[in-house]
Amino acid sequence: MARWLLVCTALIGCNGGTDGDGPGDATPDTDVADDFGVEEDGSCESFYDQEDQQEYFIPGAQRFWVGEFAINGTEVSGFEASILFANDTWIEEEPEASDCQIVWTMTGTKADPDGCGSCEYSLSLHAEFDPVNSNCLDALQDDMVAGNESFDVTYNVNVEGSETTYYMSGGDVLGHGTEDGGTTTYVSDSACMWF
């Protein structure tokens, strides 16, 4: 199996779209990025090395995390996905490389906030890798999922009107989204991955 060196410009915890009608039912499909309106912006086409002050065009991708959860009383179900937009160099060097996603299904419970005084509630979630809705190259997907086939995570969620801010357990912001009719979402800032 090929080994991939994954270097991110921002560290986002290991986590991770809907049925094609946009966010709303907490069920992933094969194009989560489109459902969330997430688009690449070209910021990961090259890597600038501050030490030697050189720009390098190396294989990589722009990555976002997104999540969508349906809340029914205290029960929670949904998914998280890591969305990767392949840069031109990766596509040139690996013809099978393309934009892709890695998805985890999530189940858990809604509870009081856990150490976040400004938050409305917390979500304690169990994740399971979803191979059906994941479509990255096998070697990359295997490396990203290795050790994270299943995991547990807790998010604190602040709600202002219909807007949400998700916090990881250490207090760092995971992403921003919306809450509407029992469904809550987030989209992270992007980070670059270099292979």
Structure tokens at 126: 């169990």
CA count, 13 A, side-chain hemisphere, 104: 26
Residue 2 in domain: no
Residue 122: which domain range? 7-194
Kindly report, residue by residue over 88-101, the tens digit of the pLDDT. 999 999 989 999 99
In a domain, 74, yes or no: yes
In a domain, residue 1? The reply is no
How far is it, in rounded angstroms, from Cα 108 to Cα 131?
20
Q: Is residue 181 very low, low, confident or very high in pLDDT (cuts 50, 70, 90)?
A: confident
Structure tokens at 184: 């809550």
Distance CA(164)–CA(120), nearest Å, equals: 10
What DSSP element (H or E) covers 154?
strand 150-160
**119 vs 103, 111, 115, 164, 172, CA distance in Å?**
26, 11, 9, 10, 13
In a domain, residue 37? The reply is yes
Residue 25 has pLDDT above 60, yes or no: no
The pTM of the full predicted model, rounded to 2 decimals, is: 0.83
Judge whether 84 lies within some domain.
yes
Tell me which of 8-12, 140-144, 156-160 is least confident: 8-12
Rounded-to-integer distance, Cα 153 and Cα 151, Å: 7
Q: How many domains does the chain have?
A: 1
Helix residue ranges, H only, 76-149: 88-93, 138-145
Tell me if 183 is assigned to some domain.
yes
Write out the two tokens for 148. Answer: 């994270």
